[in-house]
Chain A
Amino acid sequence: MDISIIHVTLFVLAIFLGFELITKVPPTLHTPLMSGSNAISGITLVGAILAAGHGGDQTLVNVLGFLAVALATINVVGGFMVTNRMLAMFKRKD
């Protein structure tokens, strides 16, 4: 079996899983959820690392890889930290 078929399978199943996970969120947590899931979409960082670290000597590839790592890291670091900051406010009153 072709590996891309397995990937398409993963894709379809994950979409369904995502729908089921999100339907049960109270409105209060929508903003933290949006920024939290936004941070998860920074998973592109994994692809960026693979692109930036391949060790070739094509300048354009290296520059694009560098840009990809920088942008994805902003997304990941900023996203998780700001979500944590928002949620800490909810927690304090407990």
Chain B
Amino acid sequence: MSQNIIEIAYIVAAALFILGIKGLSKPKTAVRGNQLAAVGMLVAIVVTLVNSSVVSYEWIVAGAIVGAIVGATLAVKIQMTAMPQLIAVLNGFGGGASLTVAAAEFTKSQPTDVMNTVAQMTDHVTGGMGTFAMIATGLAVFIGSVTLTGSFVAFAKLQELIDGQPKGFPGMKALNALLLIGSLITIGYLTVDPTNTTLFWGLVGAACIMGILLVMPIGGADMPVVISLLNSYSGIAAAAAGFVMGNSVLIIAGSLVGASGIILTQIMCVAMNRSLTNVLFGVMAEAGEAMDADEVYAGKVKASSPEEVAMMLDTARRVVIVPGFGLAMAQAQHAVRDLADSMEAMGIEVEYAIHPVAGRMPGHMNVLLAEAEVSYDKLKEMDEINPTFEQTDVVIVIGANDVTNPMAREDKGSPIYGMPILNVDKAKTVVVVKRSLSAGFAGLPNPLFAKDNTLMLFGDGKTAILELTKHLNES
């Protein structure tokens, strides 16, 4: 196939990616958008396979079979609650792919033994990459490695394989700065000495360590931002790999993803009232002035029972449900929907309040509630629902914590001060379904639990909601 036809097919693929992302931005066209992007991918892959520079297929077929089986299994088996982890892992693989592509190209460019012998005899070095290709390779390897190891640390934190608390040691920032500068100098030196394989693999190692060190000090609460940022990195790494291969579709698709990841990261930071710099580097500095939990809660927390809450719901006219990550953990989305159905059958108005950062990803709660077939128009965003809390009889908070913490509104010294929250405490009664009084991701006590109009319903989210529904139906 001629190079022109291949390039035309690549432009078609790129156009399909653009239409796909545009389609994904509207609920009505999202499914088609995803399909368009998948078709674009198929077009790009097929024309690449018939490219005249591809002459042997055994490694390709082997890799594709392994990849397709693993990818499809992950996609089908994964629980909806584990979605953030899965995206982190897929993202890590994407970064790993860019790293290995660039490493393969680098290895291929190395002079063979014969050429080395000739070089020694003639004292004239041959082989190695040109300056532009070497810079692109260095960047693809560097960004790809950071994405790979960073994503896996994010995965381990979300899966709770390692502690979600920020981890660090003195001099960590200095070490990171050193690794970054060292890596950039190494890339620079490789343009002068492009046959130095030791230095090249040293760069890979340094970048892998840097990926780990960059994500370790970030707390579990900020993982969505990190995944979003790493998603952006994996796009940039693909674009860099595109420069290495001189391939237009890699460059276009990679930069589209790179730009989208940065915008999404920005939106998430705005919702949490934090700057990206603060998320990435600020956590360790903030430790210290934590409020004493015992002081906040002592003698003021009222525990309730499903019977009591059911009686209260019996006389309510408007109920708002506030889901959080605890809902996902307890797999309580179907139980919540049944409860809402029961209440609606009794003529109670039920709505859901979705905080932009509830759960561990933007839209996480929407996906979960959609799984339980909760109607789209009952999910209200923060700005829409906040003015209505004063006319709400009962708010049921299920596994949400920090997004309802009134300290964000009232306590100027609090680390979360200024973060927009759901003003659930304005409602007549707040019922908090929670396992215990333990702190949320932000590691702070929540004075909401000690308010006069708050009742705590301790226990597993799903069991508590099922009990509640049972008593409500009996009454």
Contacts and interface: CB of A to CB of B under 8 A. Distances in A.
Nearest to A50: B245
Q: Secondary structure of the A side of the interface?
A: helix
Given A34-B228, A61-B108, A44 B94 contact: yes
A28 B366 contact: yes
B31 A22 contact: no
Interface string A36-73: 11111111111111111111101011101111111111
A67 B323 CA distance: 41
B362 A31 contact: yes
Contacts of A17: 18, 256, 259
B75 interface: yes
B55 A78 contact: no
Q: How large is the interface on A (under 10, 10 to 19, 20 to 34, 35 or more residues)?
A: 35 or more
A67 to B, nearest CB: 5
Give the most central of B83, B242, B257: most A CB within 10 Å: B257
A46 B25 contact: no
Interface stretch (B37-45, B212-220, B464-472): B37-45
A45 B31 CA distance: 23
A72 to B, nearest CB: 4
Given A15-B258, A89-B371, A92-B373, A48 B97 contact: yes
Contact of B59 (A35, A66, A93): A66
Given A77-B68, A86-B83, A29 B259 contact: no
Contacts, number: 381
A4 to B, nearest CB: 5
Contacts of B169: none
Interface residues of B, number: 112
Contact of B20 (A26, A40, A85): A40
Given A49-B45, A80-B37, A93 B376 contact: yes
Interface of B: 14, 17-18, 20-22, 24-27, 30-31, 33-35, 37-38, 40-41, 44-45, 48-49, 51, 53-57, 59-60, 62-64, 66-68, 70-72, 74-76, 78, 80, 83, 86-87, 90-91, 93-94, 96-98, 100-101, 103-105, 107-108, 132, 227-228, 231, 234-235, 237-239, 241-264, 267-268, 354, 356, 361-364, 366-367, 370-371, 373, 375-376, 379, 381
Given A14-B251, A46-B45, A71-B100, 8 more contacts: A16-B259, A21-B25, A35-B86, A36-B33, A36-B37, A37-B24, A37-B261, A75-B93
20 contacts: A22-B25, A23-B263, A31-B366, A33-B260, A35-B87, A39-B41, A41-B257, A43-B249, A44-B101, A48-B101, A51-B108, A60-B104, A61-B107, A65-B60, A70-B70, A90-B370, A92-B370, A93-B370, A93-B375, A93-B376
